Amino acid sequence: MKETKPLILISNDDGITAKGIKHLVEFMAEIGEVIVVAPNKGQSGMGHAITIGQALRLDKSNVFGENILAYECSGTPADCVKLAKHYVLKDRTPDLVVSGINHGSNSSINVIYSGTMSAAIEGSVEGLNAIGFSVCDYGHQADFSHTKEVIQKIVRNTLANPLPKGITLNVNIPKKSEIPLKGIKICRQTKGRWAEEFDERIDPHNRPYFWLTGKFVNDDLQVNGEPNTDTDEWALKNNYVSIVPCSHDLTAYPLIAELKDLER
Amino acid sequence: MKETKPLILISNDDGITAKGIKHLVEFMAEIGEVIVVAPNKGQSGMGHAITIGQALRLDKSNVFGENILAYECSGTPADCVKLAKHYVLKDRTPDLVVSGINHGSNSSINVIYSGTMSAAIEGSVEGLNAIGFSVCDYGHQADFSHTKEVIQKIVRNTLANPLPKGITLNVNIPKKSEIPLKGIKICRQTKGRWAEEFDERIDPHNRPYFWLTGKFVNDDLQVNGEPNTDTDEWALKNNYVSIVPCSHDLTAYPLIAELKDLER
């Protein structure tokens, strides 16, 4: 009897030639049948952008060798998942959508700016099992060697126990170091923000321009003198892999009752 | 004694010359001191994109006349709010960030693709009171004449009773019709999605390209035969203005306990 392999759709936001997606394809090919639809260029910080005013291109790619069906797309990460689901896969439904491995953290507030997470969240909007993976190392040559075991564990678990509809896992993995990973922590999103500074410069035509720079501020370090050990930032700082279950239902339910006065 | 007017920061995603923001500036100028930082071109569907790999331009604009301080920015709606907060306003803190009025609905799942809402949500990330306004009319020449009273009511209420930190209001207003608006409904985000179809065409060089098209599917119409009257889609269909309080904390809290097995 032939065992059916799970169908795994892969995308990312660093582009189809990034090191992170290459590793993710290798890790997933050991578990299931892999199809890749990924941006043809870097799309970091694209949030949940979709392409409305322009047409999209989609071209076959052999960057992962002849055994992996792969496409590069001119659109955003969310576009890639839409095209994959409704055009490339047509009547086939993937058992899982995975996005990444992102070069850089998508913990805390970064989740809302992240193209990696938008690909995964788009999967959940389509009613699919979906996970975004990131490593806290921004380098082009980031080391992913410590990520295989934990990524495969999380993927196998999610294939065996599908997530509820509308839920996406945001998985962040500490940067490779001499200390081995301590394990997995299920966390909440840390309250935080970027304290932005704009680096103002003058171009050769004497016009100003601005580079966005900034420093992450953790507003969620402790309460009553005790550290908040349930946040993704705490987990990562303490060498745990953080998993935050995310919903694309943004409703702040407790506020519904509080705002009822406005109905009058 | 001189009364201090509230400081209101305005942005949008349809660009600084859109009809919707012109109306919003007029409505807000009757309530407070207005400063505008808005994209210099349409940015619909930009989700929560930010500009990382490119520099930003920021230029003074007189599209709202000499009495309104306004800037047009080359970046996304989220970039506009960041630049406004950290560069234009510097030490002044706006009492409210408003975004819109968007030409087109941002109800249900549209909230995650919406540039209008990303500007408002960026305000809430910065710890500010923030509201996104949209009218369910995609036309360039959409009619906004029925929106003034309800927008001013919501703004005055929010200035008097600031929202909790991290909460943004997603306000959608039905398209102008012969029937007057029935009032305001505080709602939850409707479960829905776009059933995408990709319109595949062939260019003059014989290469395929794709247009994203689709139809909205409401997965939240009824339960046990009774209509779900607590959703934003229901409110809008029934000629109410819908308000969904939104959080940028995506954590699906009930799932944290359920996933604890993964920690082993």
Cβ within 8 Å, pair A245-B260:
no
Q: What does R_g of chain B's alpha carbons equal in angstroms?
A: 20
- Reported as a pLDDT band with limits 50, 70 and 90, residue A175 is very high
B169 Ramachandran zone, left/alpha/beta (phi>0; psi -120 to 50): beta
Per-residue pLDDT at B158:
97
Distance of CA B19 to the CA centre of its chain: 15
Q: For residue A38, give the amino acid letter.
A: A
Q: What CA–CA distance (Å, rounded) separates A128 from A131?
A: 10
- Reported as a pLDDT band with limits 50, 70 and 90, residue A2 is low
Q: What is the pLDDT of residues A95-123, one digit of tens each?
A: 999 999 999 999 999 999 999 999 999 99
Q: Most A CBs within 10 Å: which of B54, B116, B255, B264, as the mutation test of the A interface?
A: B255
- Reported as a pLDDT band with limits 50, 70 and 90, residue B189 is very high
Interface of B with A in 90-149 (CB under 8 A): 109, 111-113, 118, 121, 125-127
Residue of chain B with shortest Cα separation from A90: B197
Helix axes A148-160, A19-29, angle to 10 degrees: 50
Cβ within 8 Å, pair A109-B125:
yes
Angle formed at CA A85 by CA A82 and CA A89, multiple of 5 degrees? 145
ipTM of the complex: 0.92
Average pLDDT value for residue range B39-67: 89
Q: What CA–CA distance (Å, rounded) separates B97 from B85?
A: 10
**SS3 per-residue string spanning chain A:** CCCCCCEEEEECCCCCCCHHHHHHHHHHHCCCEEEEEEECCCCCCCCCCCCCCCCECEEEECCCCCCCEEEEECCCHHHHHHHHHHHHCCCCCCCEEEEEEEECCCCCCHHHHCHHHHHHHHHHHCCCCEEEEEECCCCCCCCCCCCHHHHHHHHHHHHHCCCCCCEEEEEEECCCCCCCCCCEEECECCCEEEEEEEEEEECCCCCEEEEEEEEEEECCCEECCEECCCEHHHHHHCCCEEEEEEECCCECHHHHHHCHHHHC
pTM passes above 0.90 = yes
- What is the pLDDT of chain A when averaged over all its residues? 94
Average pLDDT value for residue range A240-257: 97
Interface of B with A in 183-212 (CB under 8 A): 183-189, 191, 193, 196-198, 200-201, 207-212
